[in-house]
Chains A and B, each alone.
Chain A
Amino acid sequence: MQYLVSVIDDKTGSATAAEMAAINAFNDRIEAEGHWVFAGGLAAPTAATVIDNTGGGEAVFTDGPFLESKEYLAGFWIIEAADLDVALKLAAEGSKACNRKVEVRPFL
C-alpha cells in the first residue's frame, strides 16, 4: 500500500548540507529495503503557478501558490508500506533526516 509523506516547511532555504546527507542516506536505505517509490524536493512556493480550467471559457493562470500560508509543501516521498505502523516508522525517520515535520497520508 502506498503512502504520501509530505514535508512541511515554514521558512525559505533548502536543506543544509548535513540534512542533505541524512536524506540521501535515508533514501538509499529505503530504496534497498523496497519502500522507495518516488521522492523529490520542491522549488519554493513563489515558483508555483495555479491554473483554473474548470470554467467554460479559457484557462485562468495565477502567479503564486494555491494557498498563501506560513507553512508549505517543501518536498515529499511516496513510499510502499504494508500497513500504517511501517509507514509511520519510515516517516519518523524521514522527518528526522530532513529535520522537518511530515504528514503521512494513504493513497486511495
Chain B
Amino acid sequence: MVAALTRRFGDLDIAEEAAAEAFATAVERWPADGVPPNPGAWLTTTANRKAIDRIRRESKRDDKQKEAQMVYDDDPGEPPGAIDDERLRLIFTCCHPALAMETRMALTLRMVGGLTMPEIARAFLVQESTMGQRITRAKAKIKAARVPYRVPSAEDLPARVSGVLAVLFLVFNEGYLATGPDSDPVRHDLTAEAIRLTRLIRTLMPDDGEVAGLLALMLLTEARRTARVSASGELVPLAEQDRGAWDVALVAEGHRLVRERLAAGVAPGRYQILAAINAVHTSARDVRDTDWSQVVALYDQLVRLDASPIIALNRAIAVAELDGPEVALAAVDRLEDKLAGYHAYHATRADLLRRLGRSQKSRAAYDKAIELAGNTAETAYLTRRRDQLG
C-alpha cells in the first residue's frame, strides 16, 4: 500500500505517514464501526485522503502543484486496477436507489470520500449524532435488505449512473455554495471530492455524455472558485469576477470536454447543456464579450429538457442581457408562485428592479432575498447591494 501511495504522491515520507495514520484510524474505529467489506481498499482510500490533507496543510509551492494534480487528474496514466474497482463498487452501493438522497450523499462522503463524521454533519447542517444515526441505519439497511455490493450490470448501469451523478452534483453544489451562517461559503474539500469521484465514474463509462458533461460543468465552475469570494468574504457575481484569477488549466479541460461532446453529435443531456453554458461564459475574456444569444439559445434547449422554474429563472437572467430588464422582469414575475421561497428569485427581481430605477421595490426584494439566503458570502453581497440603493 505504501508503494502505491508513493507512486501516486511521489513522496515516501507522506506515503508512510499516511499509511501509518490509516492503520491507526482502523485500529481505533473498526472495533466500533465493524470491519469494512474490503479492508485493503478502506485503508488505501483513507491513506490517500490523509496524504492529500497533509499536502494541503503544507503550503509550499510545489505541494500546491501536487494538490492541483489531484484535482486535475486523479490517476495519471496508472491502470485502473483493483482499487478503482473497489471504489466503484462502493460508490454504487452508497448511491443505491433504495436509500434516501441525503443518506446517499452522507454515505458516499463517508465511505468513499473518507470525510469525518463532524465534517459531513457540518456540511449538511445536522447534529453529529443525527448524521451518525443516518449512516448507521443506512449500513443496517444495506445489510438487512441485502443491497448487493457490486457495480451494476450493463443493462442497469445507465439508470444507476444517473443516480450517482445526481449525488455527486449535490455534493459539488454543497461545496460550491455551502449553506449555513457559520460555514465557509465555498468548501474546497467537497468540490474536490466531487470532481475526483466524477473522474472515477468516467473511467467506468468513458463514452457517457452526461458523465463527461457533469465533469466539464464541475471543472468550469471550480475554475472560478478563487474569484468567487472576495477577501472580505462577500460573493462576487460572474459579471464582476477577476477573470485573470480563473484557473486556466481547468477552463481548458472543461472546454475540451464540451467540444468533445459537441463533436459526438448526440443530443445533449442536462449536464452537457449546463457545461456548454458555462463554456460560453468562460470563453469571454471580459463580461462584455459574453455571447448572450448563445447562452439564451442553450437555456432554450435546457428548458425543453427540464421544466424546473429555477432554470426558467436563470434563462430570464440571460434574457435581461439580450432583451433588457423589463422583458426579463415580466418573465421572472411569472415564476412568483413557484419560487416565492427561493432567495435567488428575490435577488434576481431586486437586481432587475434596480436596473429599472425602481429603488423602493428593489430594496424590498433585497430584504426578502437576504432573509431567505443561506450562504454567508451571498448574504454579505446582497446586503451591500441593498445598502447601495439610493
| Interchain Cβ contacts within 8 Å, total number | 26
Which residues of chain A from 76 to 108 have any CB-CB distance to chain B below 8 Å in the complex?
Answer: 82-85, 87-88, 104-106, 108
Chain B residues in contact with chain A, CB under 8 A?
A: 96-98, 144-148, 152, 156
CB closest chain-A residue, reference B149: A83
By a beta-carbon cutoff of 8 Å, the part of chain A in contact with chain B is: 1, 3, 82-85, 87-88, 104-106, 108
Sampled A-B contacts (12; CB under 8 Å): A1-B146, A82-B146, A82-B148, A83-B146, A84-B146, A85-B147, A85-B156, A88-B98, A105-B145, A106-B144, A106-B145, A108-B144
Q: How far is the CA of A108 from the CA of B146 in the complex (A)?
A: 11
Interface of B is mostly: loop
CB distance from B145 to the nearest CB of A (A): 5
Q: What separation, in Å, do the CA atoms of A3 and B98 have in the docked complex?
A: 14
**Would you call B98 and A83 a contact (CB within 8 A)?**
no
> Shortest 9 CB-CB distances between A and B: which pairs?
A83-B148, A106-B145, A83-B146, A84-B145, A84-B147, A84-B146, A85-B148, A106-B144, A1-B146
A88 / chain B contacts, CB cutoff of 8 Å? 97-98
The contact of B148 among A84, A105, A108, by CB within 8 Å, is A84
In Å, the complex CA distance between A95 and B96 comes to: 20
Q: How far is the CB of B100 from chain A (nearest CB, A)?
A: 15
Chain A residue numbers with a CB within 8 Å of B148 are 82-85
Cα-based distance from A64 to B6 in the complex (angstroms): 69
* A87, chain B: closest CB distance, angstroms: 8
Known: A84-B146, A87-B145, A106-B145. 7 other contacts (CB 8 A): A82-B148, A83-B148, A84-B96, A84-B98, A84-B148, A85-B152, A104-B145
Give Cα A106 to B147, complex, Å: 11
Chain B residues near A106 (CB-CB < 8 A): 144-146
Bound complex: CA of A1 vs CA of B147, how far in Å?
12
Report which residue of B96, B97, B98, B145 has the largest number of chain A beta carbons within 10 angstroms of its beta carbon.
Answer: B145
Which residues of A sit under 8 angstroms from B145, Cβ to Cβ?
Answer: 3, 84, 87, 104-106
Within the complex, the shortest CB–CB distance from B261 to chain A, in Å, comes to: 30
Q: How far is the CA of A106 from the CA of B142 in the complex (A)?
A: 11
Residues of chain A within 8 A (CB-CB) of B147 are 83-85
How far does the Cβ of B153 sit from chain A's closest Cβ, in whole Å? 9
The CA-CA distance from A83 to B156 in the complex, in Å, is 15
Question: Which chain A residue has the least Cβ–Cβ distance from B97?
Answer: A88
